[in-house]
Amino acid sequence: MNYIADIAIKLFGDNKTCMCGGAHHICLNCEVCRAIDKDQIYDSDKGVASIIDATILKATATDADVTTLCNMANEYQTASVCINSHFIPLIKSKLIGTVKSCTVINFPLGASSQEVIQAETQAVLDAEVDEVDMVQNLSALLSGDYDTSFASINVAAKLCIAKEALLKVIIETCYLSEEQLIISCLIAKKAGASFVKTSTGFGTAGATPENIALMRKVVGPKLGVKASGGIRTSEQALAMVAAGANRIGASSVTPLL
């Protein structure tokens, strides 16, 4: 039995073999079974722009800054524009084509209660956002309180699933050991997330190819893997893709193209 599968069995008990290709080996009995979904891989024919979440989350962002980002996203047809929830109405009025609206919750500390996470998720979904990037409950995870870690993601996932919105769980890799990274990915997948994501961009470090490769190995081909934090060149972006990422978060887009 491999190391990842051993962790999965310790967390969730032995079970039938999974059908989704994850290195956890056992079926996690996920909130959503993705065994028949398409593999989440980068399509080079569509180009790097198609997998970029063009992002502006700084406290000093203005309407003008966000509008400029939307115009750039429209020009290159990025995957989404990711903003703080204050700006949801603005980007919904600006984005065209296939560019999706994305916002963040439980951000950036990952320290909100389950009740607050539920209310925040419902609020952004009511604003008709397409995608939600959520920081996992880091305090619970680092304390070994995996039930609370799961529940905080699951309550958001259920709401997102009902609205057909993508939920990306930010595990904030810079604060985690390898085992904690694996556990975070397993919990997010079981709870119903659509993606696992490396970083908020506000931590001590961002994405690395090594972490992306491990995250992809853990969750398998059916879940998305988003690399974010410190990706500033096309070489870095392509290294993340080569490691298994199929979404990139970046505040500066054109250097990646």
Q: Is the link from the previous residue into 209 a cis peptide, with omega within 30 of 0?
A: no
Alpha helical stretches, state H, the chain: 3-12, 63-76, 88-94, 114-126, 138-142, 146-162, 178-191, 209-219, 234-243
Catalytic entry in 100, 197, 217, 222: 197
Q: Is 226 a catalytic residue?
A: yes
Q: How far is CA 197 from the centre of its chain?
A: 4
Return the structure tokens found at 41: 């891989």
Token digits of residue 204: 């001590």
How many degrees, rounded to 5, is the angle at CA 94 between CA 89 and CA 99? 100
Query: How far apart are alpha carbons 230 and 203 in whole angstroms?
Result: 11
Which of 133, 168, 189, 222 does the annotation list as catalytic? 133
Here the tokens at position 212 are 């992306």
6 is catalytic: no
211-247 b/e (C-beta count within 10 Å ≥ 16 → b)? bbbbbbbbbbbbbbbbbbbebeeeebbbbbbebbbbb
What are the distances in angstroms from CA 91 to CA 18, 122, 247?
A: 39, 18, 20
Catalytic: 158?
A: no
DSSP-assigned letters across all residues of 22-49: -TT-B----SS--TTSPP----TTT-GG
Q: Which two tokens stand for residue 253?
A: 């887009």
The catalytic site residues sit at 133, 197, 226
